[in-house]
């Protein structure tokens, strides 16, 4: 038979487990958000590089 102390222990353990799961879920979401932001930065950088290369070509044509 479980005493009231054991019930409290079980309830606290369940609460800690739920808190840990929530923390892990939030951590995973943050990781995904960081990865998505990195991909967006990489794409923006690649687009900017193409723009700069086109500008350089136009400058060379204008000078020639």
What does the angle CA 33 – CA 39 – CA 41 come to, to the nearest 5 degrees? 100
Taking only the tens place, the pLDDT of each residue in 2-61 is: 678 888 899 999 999 999 999 999 999 999 999 999 999 999 999 999 999 999 999 999
Structure letter (DSSP) for residue 7: H
Angle among Cα 41, 47, 49 to the nearest 5 degrees reads 100
pTM over 0.95: no
Q: For 2-41, give the DSSP string.
A: --HHHHHHHHHHHHHHHHHHHHHHHHHHHHHHHHHHHHHH
Is residue 64 predicted with pLDDT exceeding 80?
Answer: no
Q: What's residue 52's pLDDT?
A: 96
């Amino acid at each position: 038979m479980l005493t009231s102390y054991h019930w409290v222990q079980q309830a606290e353990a369940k609460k800690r487990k739920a808190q840990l799961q929530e923390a892990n879920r939030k951590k995973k979401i943050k990781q995904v958000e960081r990865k998505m932001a990195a991909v967006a930065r990489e794409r923006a950088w690649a687009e900017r590089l193409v723009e700069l290369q086109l500008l350089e070509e136009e400058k060379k044509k204008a000078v020639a």
